[in-house]
Amino acid sequence: MQLLNHLKKHHLFFIFTGIILLKLFFTRLLLFDSYNIFQTIFVEIGYFLIIFALIELINSQKFKAIIYVLVDLLLTILFIAVLIYKGYYGYIANIYAFALLDQVGTVQESVVSLFDPVYLLLFVDFIILVIYAIFRRKTEELGNLNKNYKFLSGVLVIGVVLISLNIFSHKGEQIADSVLAAQKQGMFTYQIFSISNKAAAESALTQNEFAHLPQKIQKLKELNTIPQEELKFLGIAEGKNVIAIQVEALQDFTIGLKVDGQEVTPFLNELLKSSLYFSNVYQQIAPGNTSDAEFIFNTSLYPSPWEATAKTFADRDIPSLAKLLKEQEYTSITSHANDVTFWNRNELYPALGFDRYYDIEFFGKEDVIGIGPSDEVLYSKVMPELKKMYENNEKFYAQFVSLSSHHPFKIPATKEVIELPTEFDSSIVGNYLKSVHYADFALGKFVQELKDSGMWEDTVLIIYGDHFGLQPSAIAEGDFALLKELIGHDYHYLDQFNIPFIVTVGDQTIGEIIDTIGGQVDIMPTIANLLNLSLDDSVYFGQDLVNYPDNLIGMRYYMPVGSFYNSEITFKPKEAFEDGDAFNVYTNEVISDYSDYENDYNRILELMRLSDMYLNSLPIR
């Protein structure tokens, strides 16, 4: 009888508690491929018991119902956002990722393409609620019922106890994998730990630590300095103009790939014959994605693990390639055919030492593909600026950030210059290959212009991918079969994260493939060797891939914290080192006994910690 009384007085509480529980079960099933009823109740429901008990204190039944519906709608949108984010990035979004929602408008086409129709089931309750509201008696709908404060107090206590027990049971716990962390801790407690972990990681270096950091990094990386006279390719590009092309979503498996006898990247394939080609380089970006790749390339530092580095550290005085070249009297420019405020680049570029930048205001709305003007427009409109500097004997460093091969890879039919077999029709793999082919075509036109204008022989050209294009969690089952047919084995995260890095010195024919394991942090030190730029006493976390073949690099965000690549294996932990997965870095074969590499795991955690502390220690501009 007492239960019926509670049900009558607080019927909305029970209705919406049931609704949210069902949504939590469904969301956790999609996120984690399984759910446990008791675990879900224990780690998730406490927050809603507190929120709903407080809503029950509202006197007006009508206003109370509106608040319940708004909370339900907000949570539904939140759950869908988490599902989409995890579907593409493989990461459970934390509160800092949600702070980047202002970027969504620019990539809305990508977001829409990632929306799975099954997510619409989260809105079914709103249809039921409308029907329920229509058939309720008007007097009952608008009437006010006395509240049972004893019942509400009990609900509040239960909510507080559940949350407290959950937080206490996971206190001090460091789970490397964000998906596993959110599953065990609960999606909302996971947010609390994200905030506390970020706060704990915001320490800076002492003055003494700052002074000895270069030596400490070298010791952790176990590098022995090679005498200058023994350095291979030292200074072969010294004094030349530097052009760096960051190609959107370019993965290494596309290089040399043929489909039905057609080359996907014919220009790059030809370019390799006279270039240095680093075939085992991996992305190391974090939440800032493309802007993180720009940051890493220019600094050889690890990006922030919590927020886009361009947003968090663009107010700092950041040592960079542009500043090293400025000491050699270079002018530095950068070009991105989108709004420069996207990823806060209007602040990042000055922080990195670029003298000027070109964005959508310069390029206009001509020949738009996806989120900006085409790569052909990008290169052709900046070309006169390069010619002007060249004719004035002004040495320059020009960075280009391409856009046309951006997800969801929809190249207009007028630009589809590769004909794929019918099995690729309407597949994301087919669209991706077409977009890469177009990016390759536009890049080839640009290089031809450099040659025609007489600039090529005075140029060192650097080409690299910013990050993956094909995310396993965001492609269909049929696409996996297509990929296996293309690359000869099951698509692996080593394929996903492997990006090309190519260097061509215009007046030299090198034609060498270097298979040293490397990351984006290694690009700047490698270029510094070719340009004969001194990095003495500089803080950088990469190494020259030409002269230092033994390497240790880390990745986080897209892989669990503590993931690393060395010259033998790639490793990613789950909760910690003991329960991780290891693979041969060249063959993808599973390594069952990886116990000998625990030192590498600890070293990479320390290197990333030092990189974070270094960023925190940089002076405000």
- pLDDT (tens digit per residue) in 452-493: 999 999 999 999 999 999 998 778 889 999 999 999 999 999
Instruction: Flag whether 160 is in a domain.
Output: yes
Give the type of residue at 353: G
Residues 29 and 87 in one domain: yes
Tell me: pLDDT of 496 over 60: yes
Where a domain ends, among 511, 538, 565?
A: 538
Q: Whole-angstrom Cα distance, residue 602 to residue 220?
A: 10
Which tokens hold the place of 127?
């249809």
290 is in an annotated binding site: yes
pLDDT at 170 over 60: yes
pLDDT at 60: 83
Per residue in 239-298, pLDDT tens? Answer: 999 999 999 999 999 999 999 999 999 999 999 999 999 999 999 999 999 999 999 999
Q: What is the pLDDT of residue 430?
A: 95
139 an active-site residue? Answer: no
Domain closes at, from 486, 515, 538? 538
> CB 446: neighbour CB atoms within 10 A?
24
Tell whether 152 and 300 lie within a shared domain. no
Would you state the structure tokens that stand for residue 193, as one six-digit string? Answer: 């730990």
Number of domains in the chain: 2
Higher pLDDT: 306 or 159? It is 159
In this prediction, residue 102 carries a pLDDT of: 53
Q: How far is CA 252 from the centre of its chain?
A: 17
Quick one: pLDDT band at residue 141, thresholds 50, 70, 90?
Answer: very low
CB 571 within 8 A of CB 581: yes
C-alpha count within 13 angstroms, C-beta hemisphere, residue 365: 0
pLDDT at 607 over 80: yes
Given this model, what pLDDT does residue 104 score? 46
Instruction: Please indicate, yes or no, whether residues 381 and 460 belong to a single structural domain of this protein.
Output: yes
What pLDDT, on a 0 to 100 scale, did the predictor assign at position 7? 59
pLDDT at 97: 75
144 lies in a domain? yes
Q: How many helices (H) and strands (E) does the chain have?
A: 25, 17
* Residue showing tokens 């794929």: 420
What is the phi/psi pair of residue 552, to 5°? Answer: -140, 115
Taking only the tens place, the pLDDT of each residue in 539-594 is: 999 999 999 999 999 998 899 999 999 999 999 999 999 999 999 999 999 999 99
- Asked if 95 and 191 touch (Cβ cutoff 8 Å), the reply is yes
Given this model, what pLDDT does residue 36 score? 83
Give the Cα-Cα-Cα angle 407, 409, 414 (nearest 5 degrees).
Answer: 150
- The pLDDT value given to residue 122: 93
Residue 16 belongs to some domain of the structure: yes
Does the annotation list 467 as a binding residue?
A: yes
Res 139 pLDDT > 50: no
Does residue 235 fall inside a structural domain?
no
pLDDT tens-place string over residues 375-401: 999 999 999 999 999 999 999 999 999
Residues 170 and 278 in one domain: no
167 vs 138, residue with greater confidence: 167
Same structural domain, 249 and 191: no
The answer to whether residue 190 sits within a structural domain is yes
Question: Which pLDDT tens digit goes with each residue over 44-101?
Answer: 999 999 999 999 998 888 899 899 999 999 999 999 989 988 887 788 888 877 766 5
Instruction: Judge whether residue 105 has pLDDT over 90.
Output: no
Check residue 111 and give its pLDDT. Answer: 62
What is the predicted pLDDT for the residue at 146? Answer: 62
522 and 449 co-located in one domain: yes
Catalytic residue among 189, 290, 459, 516: 290
Q: Give, in order, the Cα–Cα distances in Å from 465 to each of 249, 267, 328, 398, 567.
A: 6, 15, 27, 16, 21
pLDDT over 60 at 524, yes or no: yes
Conformation bin of residue 393: beta by default, left when phi > 0, alpha when psi is -120 to 50: left
Residue 211 lies in a domain: no
10 labelled binding-site residue: no
What 8-state DSSP symbol labels residue 474? G
**Percentage, residues of the chain above pLDDT 90:** 75
Domain that holds residue 280: 241-538
Asked, for residue 481, whether it belongs to a domain, the answer is: yes
Predicted local confidence at residue 495, as pLDDT: 97
When the pLDDT of each residue in the chain is averaged and rounded to a whole number, the result is 91
With a cut of 80, say whether residue 174 has pLDDT above it: yes
Domain endpoint, select from 514, 538, 562: 538
DSSP 532-555: T---TT---S---TTT----EEEE
